[in-house]
Amino acid sequence: DQQVKQNSPSLSVQEGRISILNCDYTNSMFDYFLWYKKYPAEGPTFLISISSIKDKNEDGRFTVFLNKSAKHLSLHIVPSQPGDSAVYFCAASAVGGTSYGKLTFGQGTILTVHP
């Protein structure tokens, strides 16, 4: 039962263009969503997050959009840079109870930005 899905295993983008990474979830109890970037043999690096009370959050080149009715979120990177090439994970968290400290991750999308 995969509650967080990233249906695109990989994405290839030209430097300077927009990268759009997508994520779908099924658990309606999720109320906080995060994006992480990961290089091989390293831990995930936190990029940006969004609470379920918002539909957009922006931080520099990174913007996350949340569509609660569609249970869908996306990460936009503008402009894309070669250094953005990594695996991107979407993660979700539910409030309290049996969800303490638990992030549920998607399978990841490999982003390659070509110079």
Partner 1 sequence: KAGVTQTPRYLIKTRGQQVTLSCSPISGHRSVSWYQQTPGQGLQFLFEYFSETQRNKGNFPGRFSGRQFSNSRSEMNVSTLELGDSALYLCASSFSGYEQYFGPGTRLTVT
Q: Which is nearer to partner 1, 8 or 107 (CB)?
A: 107
> Smallest gap, in angstroms, from Cβ of residue 110 to partner 1?
13
Per CB under 8 A, which of residues 12..71 are in contact with partner 1?
Answer: 32, 34, 36, 41-46, 49
> Smallest gap, in angstroms, from Cβ of residue 51 to partner 1?
8
The 8 Å CB, 24+ separation contacts for 79-82 are: 79/15, 79/16, 79/17, 79/18, 80/13, 80/14, 80/15, 80/16, 80/17, 80/18, 80/19, 80/111, 80/113, 81/15, 81/113, 82/15, 82/113, 82/114, 82/115
Residues in contact with partner 1 by the rule CB under 8 A: 32, 34, 36, 41-46, 49, 89, 91, 93, 98-108
